[in-house]
Amino acid sequence: MKVYVAVVNDRHADPEVTVYADEGEAIKYARGQAKEGAHEESDYEEHPVNDAMQRLGWVFYASYSEESDSVWVVETELKMKTEEQQRWDKYWGM
């Protein structure tokens, strides 16, 4: 199952992580958090996601302060194990 992880990285707080099933909703949330956190409108800046970032699953990146406060969204795969897989993991000490 594909999920989109929105991360708000503010130097004055612990990173905030929110998971979405929809890419657009994740980006909307991240963009909103950054715009809300910006002291001035000019502090908010969306940055291009380069090839290296895309290979790691990044789909959105923006900063909202001169001190590197930022938000990003990463696409990843949620892998869930069946009960039988979990029993075997337990059996093998994994």
Q: Kindly report the length of the chain.
A: 94
Beta-sheet strands, E only, within the chain: 2-9, 16-20, 45-46, 58-63, 70-77
Percentages (nearest 5) of helix, strand, coil residues in the chain = 35, 30, 35
Mean pLDDT, consecutive 10-residue stretches, the chain (94 aa), reads 95 93 98 95 96 97 93 92 83 80
CA distance 64 to 8: 10
**What pTM value is reported for the model?**
0.82
The confidence score (pLDDT) of residue 8 equals 97
